[in-house]
Chains A and B, each alone.
Chain A
């Protein structure tokens, strides 16, 4: 992948640079920021994260499994006390609830990993250690024909450093 990477010290400079790049139809832009900022969410206009689907699926699976395992155990190894029902849903709600939380949480984390594409073995192009420290990074995918244009935009908005990467 070929593109241009810029580092900014100020958040508003980075936001304005992204706005202009988007206006100029640079489609594939990645922002690196030491901490999540609403300014970038607004300018990037990404759709809501799909992590919630993993959460829902995991939670439903967990609660179903929790009730099922408790009822199945009771039926398989019945302990009859005073003619009461062998399987009783009230105490089994505890097991259903706990497994809903367990499966829901783990599938949320799995979803986050899958959607964020982590774990990754290398940091790939377009990353600089300063982006976890204090600076903001903007990575724009641009072929040789548009790299100069992207560089000009990023420099105009006050980038500390702009470099071509591949």
Chain B
């Protein structure tokens, strides 16, 4: 229960680094110099980082070796049998594209909405987006019998004089995913330029200083540069916002355009977009909570920011839950026996356990976030985020496998069992993703230095009186101090 706090003097604030005021969102930070110090401190290598990188590379090697085996043996090694010709690879492709959605949501959509809590977490989320889309992009290639021919999907003049079919959802995928990868990587890099300039100016090692000088493109923090930078950043955010919505809509068309029970539904684009954002926020928690703890960044990624992100997670979980239930209702009201049988089969048939994992992880467990105490409990949020990742992978499994294994006619009914090849490549994809992420956090700032500085009150000769901010503040000191 919130109570009206007594006005505090400025001196008290440093003891309560999680309590923001209207004039100071990060009371644990005294000045710009501290932002540089604290964020640059995350770049020092440590034993834990080397160990994590070693594990990630090992997983990647397992995945790469398995892929080599699959190329030699053929796709049959991956457990595909008619009629189920899409399996773990497409499930994992959709999973990683989904993970890649929260980054741009947080960096672009929340930027347009001026949501303050994005500032401290968006860089990590953006990096996650770029690496997740890089991971997702591997799967359609892994799924090809002759992966070295993947570029045939791109329309380019060629001696065969043939072109891809622009009415095919798979070609739309190529355009959507490549655009998303390019734009999110561009957005990520543009945001990094001023921060790389900070690293360049602080670096003493001549080799790294040279590297940062090249990467920062000679950025000088001049008013001219900032004027064009802020405008360009706004337009990039404005472009990235509909792009986020379009990309997963296009991915959903891979299914919705097919005349297959459970797939051919108009609800698919919003259902996929909400699911993608939900899964992405789950992965943001999986990454940011250990990051915050490991690098001791609790005073920058405050519990209030985590709380706000948890509310977004709860909201998207409810949208996803509504979509699940709507699907059942549409099947029930449709009068279509095949559709009804499919949805009955989804929860009580061969794959019942996958459907129940999905429903419990994505619909039921996130309801715990109605409790403020749990939203501000980072241990619970981390555990929940693992369940969300699991649940969202199974959501895609539930969409892909039961539909293909139970189509209209009994002769189209079959089964599917992933083999060790599928699991190894799935493991390899996690290795690939985390390898890039771990390399990133040691080379470049995991937090947007210049944007964090924007929310710090600048030094002034004449101090402004902000005592009225404290008068108006409603705080529950017990709840705000309940962080780890």
Binding site for B on A (CB under 8 A): 9-13, 30-37, 40-41, 44, 46, 48-49, 51-52, 55, 59, 66, 69-70, 73-74, 76-77, 79, 88, 91-92, 94-95, 97-99, 101-102, 104-106, 108-109, 111-113, 115-124, 127, 129-134, 137, 158
Contact = CB atoms under 8 A, between A and B. Distances in A.
B179 A133 contact: no
A11 B200 CA distance: 23
Interface of B: 31-33, 36, 155, 161-167, 171-172, 175-176, 178-179, 182-183, 186-187, 190, 194, 197-198, 200-202, 217-232, 235-236, 239-240, 242-243, 246, 250, 253, 450-451, 453-454, 458-462
Contact of A46 (B167, B219, B223): B223
B239 A104 contact: yes
B461 A10 contact: yes
B163 A101 contact: no
Contacts of A41: 223, 227
Contacts of A44: 223
Contacts of A104: 235, 239
Contacts of A113: 217
B176 A32 contact: no
A10 B231 CA distance: 25
Contact of B175 (A12, A59, A99): A99
Given A49-B231, A101-B243, A118-B219, A133 B36 contact: yes
Given A113-B217, A134-B32, 13 more contacts: A13-B461, A34-B221, A35-B450, A36-B227, A49-B230, A66-B175, A74-B167, A102-B179, A102-B182, A106-B182, A118-B217, A132-B197, A134-B459
B226 A12 contact: no
A98 to B, nearest CB: 4
Contacts of B250: 94, 98
B201 A51 contact: no
B32 A35 contact: yes
A94 B175 contact: yes
Contacts of A137: 221
A123 B242 CA distance: 37
B32 A133 contact: yes
Contacts of A119: 217-218
A21 B183 CA distance: 41
A67 to B, nearest CB: 10
B49 to A, nearest CB: 26
A138 to B, nearest CB: 10
Nearest to B201: A129
A32 B240 CA distance: 29
B450 A34 contact: yes
A93 B342 CA distance: 32
A122 B197 CA distance: 13
- What 6 A-B pairs have minimum CB-CB distances, sorted nearest first? A120-B218, A129-B201, A112-B232, A119-B217, A134-B32, A49-B231
Contact of B31 (A52, A94, A134): A134
Contacts of A134: 31-33, 36, 459
A10 B460 CA distance: 5
A95 B218 contact: no
Contacts of A88: 167
B252 to A, nearest CB: 12
Contacts of B223: 30-33, 40-41, 44, 46
Contacts of A111: 228, 232
B183 A77 contact: no
A69 B154 CA distance: 11
Nearest to B247: A98
A95 B166 contact: yes
B305 to A, nearest CB: 18
Contact of B239 (A105, A124, A129): A105
A112 B218 contact: no
Nearest to B213: A123
Contacts of B240: 101, 105
Given A11-B459, A134-B33, A109 B236 contact: yes
Contact of B190 (A37, A109, A120): A109
A48 B166 contact: no
Nearest to A35: B453
A116 B353 CA distance: 57
Nearest to A110: B232
Contact of B228 (A12, A112, A130): A112
A91 B172 contact: yes
A56 to B, nearest CB: 9
Contacts of A48: 231
B454 A35 contact: yes
Given A94-B246, A101-B242, A105-B236, A131 B221 contact: yes
Given A11-B458, A109-B190, A129 B228 contact: no
A48 B231 CA distance: 9
Contacts of A102: 178-179, 182-183
B163 to A, nearest CB: 4
Contacts of B33: 133-134
Given A36-B229, A94-B250, A108 B239 contact: yes
